Amino acid sequence: MAIRPTFIVVDDHPLYRHGVTMLISQELHLDCVGEAGDVAGAIELLASTKPRLAIVDISLQGQSGFELMHFIRSEYPDTFILVVSMHRKTSTASAPSRREPVDS
Structural domains counted in the chain: 1
Span 35-57, pLDDT tens digits: 999 999 999 999 999 999 999 99
Is residue 97 included in any domain, yes or no?
no
Domain containing residue 74: 1-7+40-53+68-85
Mind listing the pLDDT tens digit of every residue in the chain (104 residues)?
567 899 999 999 999 999 999 999 999 999 999 999 999 999 999 999 999 999 999 888 878 888 999 999 999 999 999 998 876 665 544 455 444 443 33
Give the pLDDT confidence score for residue 91 in this predicted structure.
Answer: 52
Is residue 48 included in any domain, yes or no?
yes
Is residue 3 included in any domain, yes or no?
yes
Give the pLDDT confidence score for residue 64 in this predicted structure.
Answer: 82
Q: From CA 59, how far away is CA 46, in angstroms rounded?
A: 19
Cα dihedral angle (39, 41, 44, 46), rounded to 10 degrees?
-70
Is residue 72 included in any domain, yes or no?
yes
Is residue 99 included in any domain, yes or no?
no
